[in-house]
């Protein structure tokens, strides 16, 4: 467990990656005061980070606007080269970046290592895509007319990202933005700014030009968001977080008709049919529900099990989860770290209390861990029903509610009965069932016989109130490009 910055530095091969300053215009700078970053496993302050208030945010935007003009003149191949160096440095420093991530966010080190590789994969992928930003020619509408379509960078892009993936949620946006020729201003979550400043150190070392990539940590998210939305030099806002905050930002961005990408909340159904491989479904449910301690937008929030296999699935899930370990994410063999804060613990407790008051039964866990702090027992409840809070609200914690259902049409209707539409999952073998269910689920992502769907190669994103736009895949760069056509008389 960690108690001070000194101890965290001692764990790093390269302590200079533990950067408490902001990164603006190619310089590491102090802010107007500092704010504390704590280690969730112990609650001790591990860093005091530069607090960038609105005037300095405006300054970062001005630096980005100036730098972007030249950055856009680089060839795609030149941008690809420097992005590839950034990727190589991320992977060369994967262990240190993972330790910093676990220290500020709490997830087990093995998961943090995975996040660093996942985050870096977006830089790797979009470095390549920088060379493939194609336009087109269109046959003229008159004999003397020629039409050419160009794709050009939108300009300055600003990001606001959550604490649960403090590395990957930034690189998933900065990768396509920089590949497209945009400049980027990142505002990380107050709880987890160190992962962002660490990749700024590596951006600097990779030779990304001053002002192209900027990190502005702050203790006042709404102030930064207002500057991003009201500053005419910002032409793109990209946000990952709750739907509630997404709505606020979209309203604010409307005044400058700003392009937005929104990766918002989820409420993922995880469906187990009676023809499923139950052991595989149990394994998938554990990965899908308990990854990051349930603190991901694509975690299973509702687990529906067909009546004929309900008892078997519940028993096997309980038997597997009770073997898993809770503890400090920096220790070996840990599956569940601490939750991010006390508010997160309260939400899990509220969902459990609501469910048991309405007839659900806790068959595993249900209480804070004896470790204290924000550690919580992984919990499974049976007898879940649609009048319970977790049917409509994202728990964002280690709570697995098991619902029983009878047939396909019933469970598809239950699964789709939500304002969200990000990720969904089901286990089945019958081919016609697989096609029918996959096509009828109203989600941006469907996992079939798998509980993990995240990759840089696919267009990640939601429908309904889970968001706008896609991140990853060749589609991901389109959100950072403007289309222009030239109509020429010859």
Ligand X SMILES: O=C(O)[C@H](O)CS(=O)(=O)O
Residues lying near ligand X in the complex (CB under 6 A) are found at: 164-165, 168-169, 240, 296-298, 454, 460
**Nearer to ligand X (CB atom), residue 94 or residue 296:** 296
Q: How far is the CB of 460 from ligand NDP (least distance, A)?
A: 7
Task: Return the residues of window 268-297 that contact ligand NDP according to CB under 6 A.
Answer: 297
**Nearer to ligand NDP (CB atom), residue 242 or residue 416:** 242
Q: How far is the CB of 218 from ligand NDP (least distance, A)?
A: 7
Main-chain dihedrals φ then ψ at residue 92, nearest 5 degrees = -65, -25
Main-chain dihedrals φ then ψ at residue 314, nearest 5 degrees = -60, -45
Q: How far is the CB of 296 from ligand X (least distance, A)?
A: 3
Q: Which of the ranges 206-214, 245-253, 405-413, 479-487 carries the binding residues for ligand NDP, by CB under 6 A?
A: 245-253
Q: Does 394 participate in binding ligand NDP (rule CB under 6 A)?
A: yes
Q: Does 242 participate in binding ligand NDP (rule CB under 6 A)?
A: yes
Gap between the Cα atoms of 87 and 83, Å rounded = 6
**Nearer to ligand X (CB atom), residue 80 or residue 100:** 100
Query: What are the start-end ranges of the E strands in 241-376?
Result: 259-263, 268-272, 300-306, 361-364
**Nearer to ligand X (CB atom), residue 214 or residue 295:** 295
Task: Rule CB under 6 A: choose which of 23, 313, 396, 443 binds ligand NDP.
Answer: 396
Main-chain dihedrals φ then ψ at residue 116, nearest 5 degrees = -60, -45
**Nearer to ligand NDP (CB atom), residue 233 or residue 250:** 250
SS3 324: coil
For residue 264, the partner it binds in ligand X, ligand NDP, none, with Cβ less than 5 to 8 A by kind, is ligand NDP
**Nearer to ligand NDP (CB atom), residue 79 or residue 347:** 347
Q: How far is the CB of 218 from ligand X (least distance, A)?
A: 20
Q: Are 60 and 25 in contact (CB under 8 A)?
A: yes
Task: Return the residues of window 7-36 that contact ligand NDP according to CB under 6 A.
Answer: none
Clarify whether 128 is annotated catalytic.
Answer: no
Q: Are 103 and 114 in contact (CB under 8 A)?
A: no
Q: Are 264 and 242 in contact (CB under 8 A)?
A: yes
**Nearer to ligand X (CB atom), residue 60 or residue 264:** 264
Among all chains, which residue has been given the structure tokens 């499923």?
276
Task: Return the residues of window 174-203 that contact ligand NDP according to CB under 6 A.
Answer: 189-191
Give the total of residues touching ligand NDP (CB under 6 A).
26
Q: How far is the CB of 234 from ligand X (least distance, A)?
A: 23
**Nearer to ligand X (CB atom), residue 218 or residue 466:** 466
Distances (CA, A) of 330 to 101, 190, 338: 10, 21, 11
Q: Tokens at residue 41, please?
A: 């496993």
Distances (CA, A) of 259 to 154, 249, 264, 329, 422: 9, 11, 16, 38, 20
Gap between the Cα atoms of 482 and 94, Å rounded = 34
For residue 454, the partner it binds in ligand X, ligand NDP, none, with Cβ less than 5 to 8 A by kind, is ligand X
Q: How far is the CB of 24 from ligand X (least distance, A)?
A: 26
Gap between the Cα atoms of 222 and 245, Å rounded = 10
Q: How far is the CB of 319 from ligand X (least distance, A)?
A: 26
Q: Does 237 participate in binding ligand NDP (rule CB under 6 A)?
A: no
Q: Are 122 and 171 in contact (CB under 8 A)?
A: yes
- How many CA atoms lie within 13 Å of 326's alpha carbon, on the beta-carbon side? 21
Task: Rule CB under 6 A: choose which of 240, 261, 374, 391 binds ligand NDP.
Answer: 240
Active-site annotation holder among 263, 408, 456, 471: 263
Q: How far is the CB of 291 from ligand X (least distance, A)?
A: 8
DSSP sequence for 82-106: HHHHHHHHHHHTHHHHHHHHHHHH-
Task: Provide the 8-state DSSP code for 75.
Answer: -
Helix 109-129 vs helix 94-105: crossing angle, to nearest 10: 120
- Angle CA 467–469–470, to nearest 5: 110
Distances (CA, A) of 222 to 21, 35, 54, 59: 20, 16, 10, 17
For residue 248, the partner it binds in ligand NDP, ligand X, none, with Cβ less than 5 to 8 A by kind, is ligand NDP
For residue 160, the partner it binds in ligand X, ligand NDP, none, with Cβ less than 5 to 8 A by kind, is ligand NDP
Task: Return the residues of window 112-171 that contact ligand NDP according to CB under 6 A.
Answer: 160-164
For residue 56, the partner it binds in ligand X, ligand NDP, none, with Cβ less than 5 to 8 A by kind, is none
Chain residues that interact with ligand NDP, rule: CB under 6 A: 160-164, 189-191, 221-222, 225, 240-242, 245, 248-249, 263-266, 297, 394, 396, 422, 467
Which residues participate in catalysis according to the annotation? 263
């Amino acid at each position: 467990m960690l108690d001070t910055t000194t101890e965290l530095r001692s764990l790093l091969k390269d302590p200079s990656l533990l950067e408490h300053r902001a990164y603006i215009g190619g310089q590491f700078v102090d802010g107007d005061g500092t704010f504390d970053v704590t280690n969730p496993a112990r609650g001790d302050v591990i860093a005091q980070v530069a607090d960038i208030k609105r005037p300095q945010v405006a300054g970062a935007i001005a630096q980005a606007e100036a730098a972007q003009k030249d950055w856009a003149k680089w060839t795609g191949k030149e941008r690809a080269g420097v992005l590839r160096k950034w990727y190589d440095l991320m992977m060369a420093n994967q262990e240190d970046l993972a330790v910093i991530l676990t220290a500020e966010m709490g997830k087990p080190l093995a998961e943090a290592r995975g996040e660093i590789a996942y985050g870096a994969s977006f830089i790797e992928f979009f470095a390549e895509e920088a060379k493939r930003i194609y336009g087109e020619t269109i046959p003229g509408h008159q004999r003397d007319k020629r039409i050419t379509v160009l794709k050009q960078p939108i300009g300055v892009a600003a990001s606001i990202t959550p604490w649960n993936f403090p590395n990957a949620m930034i690189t998933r946006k900065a990768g396509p933005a920089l590949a497209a020729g945009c400049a980027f201003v990142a505002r990380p979550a107050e709880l987890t700014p160190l992962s962002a400043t660490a990749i700024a150190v590596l951006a600097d070392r990779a030779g990304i030009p001053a002002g192209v990539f900027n990190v502005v940590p702050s203790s006042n998210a709404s102030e930064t968001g207002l500057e991003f939305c009201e500053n005419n030099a910002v032409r793109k806002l990209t946000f990952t977080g709750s739907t509630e905050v997404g709505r606020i930002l979209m309203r604010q961005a409307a005044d400058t008709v700003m392009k937005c990408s929104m990766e918002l909340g989820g409420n993922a159904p995880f469906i187990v049919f009676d023809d499923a491989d139950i052991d595989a479904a149990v394994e998938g449910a554990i990965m899908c529900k308990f990854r990051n301690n349930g603190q991901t937008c694509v975690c299973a929030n509702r687990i529906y099990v067909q009546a004929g296999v309900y008892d078997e699935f519940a028993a096997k899930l309980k038997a597997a989860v009770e073997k898993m370990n809770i503890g400090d994410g920096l220790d070996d063999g840990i599956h569940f770290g601490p939750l991010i804060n006390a508010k997160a613990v309260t939400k899990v407790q509220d969902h459990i209390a609501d469910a048991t008051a309405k007839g659900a039964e806790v068959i595993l866990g249900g209480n804070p861990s004896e470790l204290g702090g924000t550690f919580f027992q992984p919990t499974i409840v049976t007898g879940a029903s649609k009048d319970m809070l977790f049917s409509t609200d994202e728990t964002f914690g280690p709570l697995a509610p098991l619902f029983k259902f009878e047939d396909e049409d019933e469970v598809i209707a239950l699964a789709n009965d939500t304002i969200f539409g990000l990720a969904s999952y089901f286990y089945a073998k019958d081919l016609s069932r697989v096609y029918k269910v996959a096509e009828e689920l109203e989600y941006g992502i469907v996992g079939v016989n798998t509980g993990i769907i995240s990759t840089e190669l696919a267009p990640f994103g939601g429908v309904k109130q889970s968001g706008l736009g896609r991140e990853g895949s060749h589609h991901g760069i389109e959100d950072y490009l403007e289309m222009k056509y030239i109509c020429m008389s010859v």
